[in-house]
Amino acid sequence: MSQASNNASSGDIPDTIQEARLWRDKGWTARVIKNEDDDGWAVAMIKDGEPEPALVGPWTMGRDKKNPKPLDGNAFRTLVKTACEVIRRHEQQLHAQLHKSVQLSHADSDYTVRLQIIPDEYEPYAELSAADQFGEEIARVRVAPHFKLSRQSALHWIEQDFCRPTE
């Protein structure tokens, strides 16, 4: 049994598809595919507009132990929730890789030193900045994207009066 609605203009992809091996709704597509690694099945969750699946995982065999279990509404909602969580964790990990900070005290002052990596495709770089205990930025310099921020490198930068660190 298949159900599809098309709220978009003709020629566009339907907004909603509900088939045994293909579900599309609310910006997501679930596609049951043959697992290339074994005799089983997998499901790929693709967010609209993205070239790669956000999630690919094993899919349950049907009762005949040959074909995949059909997709249904509950399974689709669970898959969307799981795929969203995978994307969220990936974004958090990427943010953590690109934004680092350390807090330290020196000469009776408290500082927060931050390193923000700008992953430009052609000329990646990073910005090292320092803020005082009130959050006011007091220094900012451009550094190499591979600059290692640590308590020691931050303290050294502060002790050098915020001059651009040598790499």
Q: Is residue 125 part of a domain?
A: yes
| Pair (113, 42) in one structural domain | no
Which of 72, 97, 122 is the last residue in one of the domains? 97
| Residue written as token pair 């994307």 | 87
Which pTM does this prediction carry?
0.70
pLDDT of 48-99, one tens digit each? 999 999 999 999 998 888 899 999 999 999 999 999 999 999 999 999 999 9
| Pair (147, 114) in one structural domain | yes
| Pair (68, 24) in one structural domain | yes
pLDDT of 112-144, one tens digit each? 999 999 988 899 999 999 999 999 999 999 999
pLDDT at 1 over 80: no
Tell me what pLDDT residue 7 has. Answer: 47
Domain that holds residue 115: 107-159
| Pair (146, 70) in one structural domain | no
Q: How far from 71 is each of 23, 35, 110, 143, 167, CA to CA, in Å?
A: 7, 16, 56, 50, 55
Contacts with 31 (C-beta within 8 Å, 6 or more apart), sequence order: 21, 22, 43, 44, 46
Q: Is residue 167 part of a domain?
A: no
Tell me what pLDDT residue 31 has. Answer: 96
pLDDT of 8-61, one tens digit each? 444 566 689 999 999 999 999 999 999 877 778 999 999 999 999 999 999 999
| Pair (59, 14) in one structural domain | yes
Domain count across the chain? 2
pLDDT at 155 over 70: yes
